[in-house]
Amino acid sequence: MVGPRAYAAVSGSLLALLVASRTSSALGVVLALTSNRLAGWLAYPLLGRASDHTGGAMGRRSPYMAGTLLVMGVCTYGYTLVGGYWALVGLVLVAKLAANVFNIVTAAVVPETFGKSRTLRAAAAIVMAGAAVTLILKGTVVATWDQAVPSTWFVAFRMAGVFMVVVAFIVGLLVREAPAAAVSAGRDRSARAMHWREELRYVLSLPNSKVLLTAIMVFWAGFSATGWLAVVYFERVLHAGAATQTIAGWVTGIPALLVGIPAGYWLAVTLTRRQVAVLAPLVGTVLALAQVFAVHMWQAVAFALLGTPWFAAFVISLGPMLAQLLPRSGGMGELLGKLAAPFSLASVAFALLAGWSVDLTGDYRVIWLYPAIAGVIEALVLTRLWIPPGEERPRPIARIRADLAGLADGIGSSRRGLLRGEVSPRDADAGSLFGSLRRYLGNPYGRQEDAPDEGADGCQLELGRGEMDKVEESDAEH
């Protein structure tokens, strides 16, 4: 996690500010930072699937991890060496594609290396190591970054690039999946194989699928419209440079976890699922419009904190329904690639439109109109959400704790040491994690035949049903 955390530390607000220094066009900023998504929606599932089937002495995942990390490091260091806008765009495009593929492969390799029974502890150890690197780089930014002197920006990028290159060689030498992971992958390959069109038709036949997918894609499009341009907005309108935005990120993160999640749970159990589904995006609309009138960075931070409980409530209320839509067919790399692809594609149009709007009006405040509009559309779509009788609210906290304990028992409760013990094929089957998540969160619809039909022919689609049964049976076994 040291390598990707080094990349993440400089690829957010710092990279947006660097790109903005090379062009006066907001559309140019968005194009540079989102162009990878135009190719990523197709590349992620294909490369994820390729990593599931790759063989060789280095295993399935290690070649992709080491190779993409090396590309990320070289490109990040190269940001400080190239002149002009288009050369920087090319490096950003390559680095971001590599970073997304790395994240997909890494998410698969953790359970395949340590086993699902030690995944939580392995992830915690990785996050702690990555946090140390993040603190070093963020501290470097606060100490060295002078917004008025672009040459001072290069220290953080070059340090991150060196981190990634060094870690790439370490990953190539040391990271290996457990032998049982390849056994598990070969055994389940036939059960999990399915054409993507059949899988898509199956997902679209599930209750609320069209409503939820439309709402989530609209939300993500609206969020992406401000994602990168908000960094430039904070710098040019609120006069908050990289150091100020870094500190604001720290101030926002901890209260969001300590206060936002408990407050979100209270909202989720106090209101009905339908009320949360409709009110959460409407609150987001109000907070987005409030950003138009902000004059200080602390106000932007306050608006973000106010929105956190509603986001948490949305996830708690609708999480079990959303889990039913997770991909089912393929190995872990392919599953994650399928999950990332539609989000990558949905985010591009609104982001480019927001950039064009800023260039047309000359005012960065206009970017907040897009998440506001998206929030209204999302709320209208979610008024059509079907709530099964008896499922008007999420389960009480005692049952949620029991479910999470059951999930942790499956992916994190092994008494073996993190670096000791043999991993069995069942423990190394990362592809069953989505199925485990669906089971432990529960199916709020109960029997599907009790739900309103959404298939084109008014009944559950038969095409692919046998193949999906095999996938679910494979998940249940593990």
Q: What DSSP designation does 362 have? A: S
Residue that has been written with the tokens 């872990």 in this structure: 332
Question: pLDDT confidence of 108, banded at 50, 70, 90?
Answer: low
Cβ(15)–Cβ(33) below 8 Å: yes
% of the chain with per-residue pLDDT over 70: 69
- Rounded average pLDDT over 148-160: 85
pLDDT of 464 strictly over 90: no
Name the pTM for this structure: 0.71
pLDDT per residue over 374-391, tens digit each? 999 999 999 999 988 888
Neighbours of 129 (CB within 10 A): 12
Residue 134 amino acid letter: T
Question: Which segments within 191-316 are labelled E, that is strand?
Answer: none
What backbone phi and psi angles, to 5 degrees, belong to 299?
A: -70, -40
What pLDDT, on a 0 to 100 scale, did the predictor assign at position 55?
66
Tokens of 36: 């990878």
Question: pLDDT confidence of 369, banded at 50, 70, 90?
Answer: very high
Domains belonging to the chain, first-starting first, are 2-382 (1.20.1250.20)
Higher-confidence residue of 57 and 269: namely: 269
Higher-confidence residue of 440 and 276: namely: 276
Which of 9, 230, 33 minimizes the C-alpha distance to 141? 9
Tokens of 365: 């405040």
Q: Render the burial of 294-303: b for 16+ CB within 10 Å, e for the rest.
A: beebeebbeb
pLDDT per residue over 410-429, tens digit each? 555 445 555 555 555 565 56
Cβ(435)–Cβ(328) below 8 Å: yes
Cβ(335)–Cβ(456) below 8 Å: no
From residue 21, give the alpha-carbon distance in Å to each of 17, 31, 156, 236, 313. Answer: 6, 14, 16, 11, 38
**Most confident range, picked from 91-100, 387-396, 424-433:** 91-100
Cβ(330)–Cβ(49) below 8 Å: yes
Rounded distance between C-alpha atoms, residue 46 and residue 333, angstroms: 9
From residue 462, give the alpha-carbon distance in Å to each of 271, 296, 325, 455, 465. Answer: 37, 57, 17, 10, 5
pLDDT of 462 strictly over 50: no
Residue that has been written with the tokens 């599953």 in this structure: 335
Question: pLDDT confidence of 291, banded at 50, 70, 90?
Answer: very high
What pLDDT, on a 0 to 100 scale, did the predictor assign at position 244?
83
Question: pLDDT confidence of 433, banded at 50, 70, 90?
Answer: low
Rounded distance between C-alpha atoms, residue 158 and residue 156, angstroms: 6
